[in-house]
DNA sequence: CTGAAAGCGCTTACAG
DNA sequence: CTGAAAGCGCTTACAG
């Protein structure tokens, strides 16, 4: 089933079929309608491969994503698709689970580049600037959800530092003076690393006593934090993601520790459906804005805009019962 | 940057480059290594379009998905990708948000078919059997997450009926005799419709008094249910999804209704991170099993298996405090 | 083991 | 407005 079958059935040339189906206006109405009907009757689906090859350019946008099982990435994914579609582009995606270090990520990147997409949004921290750079010459690439400190690639990211500082100020404003902070390495999760670091720095600048706990897997550190709370060594804990905060809440509950009376808890992300029911105070990251700006930036670059585009979007802190310890009255 | 550039640099023919890069063993080791080096130095990425066209077959698997912002679909997406990758296939996906009725879904389907993928997993209820059927002749299609009653398409689905019955039995076992059930139309959400219907039927068969509440949007019905509870007309409500259950919990809380004392609540899905903290009793659908079986089925069909494959996977009910009303002691 | 050549299914100057 | 022909970047018989 090729374009020639349609041409034969419509009684016109292959050229006319192509033009009619592409919606070009160099075809008579009669030809157009005959072609459409023939294509319809035959159930003809043009080969994107052949079309891309012949025209020399794809009009599809590519998306490279991190594991969508994480609600924050799932939402980012959906929003990127939505904005791409709104701009009249088809969007194809590939996901890389976090455990496939390096190899899988690069393979997926290659595949997307091989597909000759018009442009690419990369929403996984798993690929370094160095790994991306060689491809940036071939096609427009915008990194989403993580800043590009190199200044060499377009990037639309969350203001993780600002968010971390805001979380710290909220904790301080609620009267906490001894606080535990879960901190990851940059290679575990770049955003969590920035958040944790910013929280620690800001708290210290505010004169708060900080206990840094180095963690990796999402369930680590919760027990230690609860121990500290029971010993009254800290009255609050700041977690660099909601998932980690949930784990703290779980352990606290299982140990009979009251939240926020014995231990206040803050998270980071704010995407989890039902977080309001849990009463988790958190920082809501602006996923929709990042997705929208990433697509907008990509399209500008695809359409020939100059220079390197870098944007950061801010979210907002969400107060909730898990951080409800009253501010001590001034004496 | 084409295969000819690599050939020139390696000092061999285009044919040899192709063979070397495809990993065929009709090439000398010397040629192979020279080609690899040349390709590496040049940063050559083969055109998937050209390759697909020339070889006549793609080896990529396609995925058509519903909105990944829903955790259940997000997880399904991730797992499908994972199993596909484990089988050595690249997997490309397209998402359709629920609001794009018809047009967007079909456009995405066309694009994926146009990409000439080797096979396709369709994980959205938005496309009817009739819309899918014409393409099933062109390439293998497996529907995931929803049964194909037509018996014409391969399908791997959740046993929604069995799950609904299990929820109903649990509610009955906890002593409830007057129960509200939120029920949707099939066109709002097919799975929710099956679940709701099964819950109602099973409860009635058990002699339970059922109040059916027709709902559409996810926030509908919660207020009505709470009113019924306050009037002691029902002691429990069964929701066909966790999202709906969360909304009931929200309204109940805002009205000062105690859960489960005044109103027991059950959900359906069991995917939500943190649902354990909310204490929601629910039915955990077997997402991982469905994803695994869908990919397995697709690969079998791609490899020439005969017949129509249809599978259903069962999950399990998860007891939790939201359904903790004690069973009345036998007298 | 190697390469010249045909061909995959389209698009697009070009000539009419 | 229409069509014959060249060409996009690969793969794969075929002949050597």
DSSP letters spanning B230-260: HTTS-SEEE-SSHHHHHHHHHHHHHTT--TT
CA nearest neighbour of B268 among B238, B241, B236, B237: B241
pLDDT tens digits, one per residue of A54-113: 988 778 999 998 877 788 888 888 899 889 988 888 899 988 876 555 677 888 888 898
Best mutation target among A68, A96, A257 (most B Cβ atoms within 10 Å) is: A68
Which chain B residues contact residue A92 at CB under 8 A? 92-94, 111, 115
* pLDDT of res. A98: 62
Cβ pair A92, A99 in contact under 8 A: no
Nucleotide nearest to B14 (CA to C1'): C3
Which residue does chain B place closest to A275, by CA atoms? B274
Taking contacts as CB-CB distances below 8 angstroms, the residues of chain A near B274 are: 242, 246, 272, 274-275, 278
Q: Which of A45, A49, A85 sits opposite B104 (nearest CB)?
A: A85
Looking at residue A107, its pLDDT comes to: 84
Three-state SS at A282: strand
Residue B116: its pLDDT value, please?
87
Distance CA B246, CA B239 (A): 9
For residue B158, the cross-strand partners are: B313
Tens of pLDDT, residue by residue over A211-254, are 999 999 888 999 999 999 999 999 999 999 999 999 999 999 99
What pLDDT shows up at residue A324?
80
Mutate to test the interface with A, among B60, B115, B321 (most CBs of A within 10 A): B115
> In this complex, which of B68, B75, B278 lies closest to A278 when CB atoms are compared?
B278
Q: State how far the Cα of A105 lies from the Cα of A147, in Å rounded to an integer.
A: 19
pLDDT in tens, B40-67: 998 899 988 899 899 887 789 999 988 7
Report pLDDT for A298: 94
Q: From the list A77, A107, A278, which residue is nearest B68 (CB)? A: A77
- Residue B283, beta-bridge partner list: B317
- CB under 7 Å from strand D: A 12-16, 19, 25-28, 30-31, 50, 53-54, 56; B 2-4, 14-15, 18-19, 21-22, 44, 46-47, 50-51, 53-56
Going by C-alpha positions, the residue among B261, B298, B242 that lies closest to residue B62 is: B298
Average pLDDT, chain B: 90
Q: pLDDT digit string (tens) for A146-198? A: 888 888 899 999 999 999 999 999 999 999 999 999 999 988 888 999 999 99
Q: What's the predicted TM-score (pTM) here?
A: 0.88
3-state secondary structure of A156: strand
Is the link from the previous residue into B260 a cis peptide, with omega within 30 of 0? yes
**Positions of chain C reached by protein Cβ under 7 A:** 1-5, 7-13
Would the CB atoms of B49 and A116 count as touching at under 8 Å?
A: yes
User: Which residues from A are below 8 Å from B51, CB to CB?
Assistant: 114
Distance CA B28, CA B19 (A): 10
Query: pLDDT per residue over A265-321, tens digit each?
Result: 999 999 998 888 999 999 999 999 999 999 999 999 988 888 899 999 999 999 999
CA distance A199 to chain B (A): 24
A1 nearest nt, CA–C1': C9
Please tell me whether any atom of strand C lies within 7 Å of the Cβ of A28: no
A135 chain-B contacts, CB cut-off 8 A: 43, 45
Nucleotides of D under 7 A from a protein CB: 1-5, 7-13
């Amino acid at each position: 089933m090729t374009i020639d079958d349609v041409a034969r059935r419509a009684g016109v040339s292959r050229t006319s079929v192509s033009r009619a189906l592409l919606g070009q206006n160099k075809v008579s109405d009669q030809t157009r309608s005959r072609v459409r009907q023939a294509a319809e009757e035959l159930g003809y689906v043009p080969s994107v491969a052949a079309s891309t090859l012949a025209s020399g350019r794809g009009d599809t946008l590519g998306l490279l994503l991190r594991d969508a099982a994480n609600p924050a990435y799932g939402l980012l994914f959906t929003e990127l698709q939505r904005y791409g579609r709104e701009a009249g582009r088809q969007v194809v995606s590939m996901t890389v689970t976090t455990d496939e270090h390096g190899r899988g990520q690069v393979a997926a990147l290659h595949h997307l580049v091989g597909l000759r997409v018009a442009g690419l949004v990369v929403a996984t921290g798993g690929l370094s600037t160095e790994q991306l750079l060689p491809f940036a010459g071939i096609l427009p690439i915008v990194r989403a959800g993580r800043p590009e400190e190199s200044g060499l690639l377009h990037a639309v990211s969350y203001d993780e530092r600002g968010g971390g500082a805001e979380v710290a100020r909220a904790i301080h404003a609620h009267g906490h003076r001894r606080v535990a902070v879960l901190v990851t390495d940059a290679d575990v999760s770049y955003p969590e690393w920035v958040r944790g670091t910013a929280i620690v720095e800001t708290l210290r600048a505010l004169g708060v006593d900080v206990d840094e706990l180095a963690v990796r897997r999402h369930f680590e550190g919760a027990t230690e934090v609860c121990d500290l709370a029971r010993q009254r060594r800290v009255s609050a804990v700041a977690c660099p993601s909601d998932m980690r905060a949930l784990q703290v809440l779980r352990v606290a509950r299982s140990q009979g520790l009251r939240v926020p009376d014995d231990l206040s808890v803050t998270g980071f992300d704010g995407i989890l459906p039902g977080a309001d029911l849990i009463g988790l105070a958190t920082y809501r990251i602006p996923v929709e804005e990042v997705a929208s700006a990433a697509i907008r930036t990509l399209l500008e670059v695809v359409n020939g805009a100059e220079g390197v585009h870098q944007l950061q979007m801010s979210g907002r802190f969400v107060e909730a019962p898990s951080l409800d310890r009253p501010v001590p009255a001034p004496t």
